[in-house]
Amino acid sequence: MTLLDTTILFVKQQLQKAEGGHDWFHIERVYKNSLLIAEEEECNIEVVTLAALLHDIADSKFHDGDETIGPSIARGFLEDQKVDEATIAHVISIIENISFKGGNFEKQFHSKELEIVQDADRLDAIGAIGIARTFNYGGFKNRPLYHPAIAPNLHMSKEEYKNSESPTLNHFYEKLLLLKDKMNTETGKKIAATRHHFMEQFLAQFYAEWDGER
């Protein structure tokens, strides 16, 4: 088996019981988006591929906020596959710096490969799939759909963002609608613009239905 085949098999096994918005199919979509964006960028495609496939191998949201588990599992797997240390270090740095974390997180690492995988991951958080994932996670956490008296918190710290229990619709304003302007690559920006517009249309329809206007 190739390294790609082995990695895909490993990720599928690890995420067999994952929440629907962070399962293998999320990984697959991010992987495909990464390859699409990478076509227009000068990059190390092996690093992009491995980082895309392993970026959510153990999301901290499902491990009591522990951000070390994912990188540790990814490193262990890559070392077992005899991947060279430079590649492993790069992939781990991407995993450690890819998350939104409230939008106030200062990245400690920069690379074209990180930009590509981060854009691909953010694209899966917006548009039709982003909407579906948001409400799926809200249901998983038993959060209300919307509460008119609870305003979005637009200036959350990393810890506040991690521990937020606000209604699902607030997440649009606290993250999803912010992502369009945080894209790194030209391809990412183009795709994000279309998905962003779709979310705006959805919100307009949601509020109209909530208020009994449509």
Residues in the chain: 214
Give the Cα separation of 97 and 147 in Å (integer): 32
CB 104 within 8 A of CB 182: no
Query: What's this model's pTM, rounded to 2 decimal places?
Result: 0.90
Give the Cα separation of 147 and 145 in Å (integer): 7
Predicted pLDDT at 66: 67
What does the block give as tokens for 151?
């305003």
Predicted pLDDT at 214: 84
Give the Cα separation of 176 and 161 in Å (integer): 13
CB 57 within 8 A of CB 23: no
Predicted pLDDT at 27: 97
Predicted pLDDT at 35: 98
Predicted pLDDT at 61: 65
Predicted pLDDT at 64: 58
- Give the three-state DSSP class for 34: helix
Predicted pLDDT at 13: 94
> What single DSSP character describes residue 41?
S
132-170 pLDDT per residue, tens: 999 999 999 899 999 999 999 887 776 776 667 789 999
What does the block give as tokens for 51?
């980082």
CB 115 within 8 A of CB 106: no
What residue ranges of the chain have pLDDT lower than 50? 103
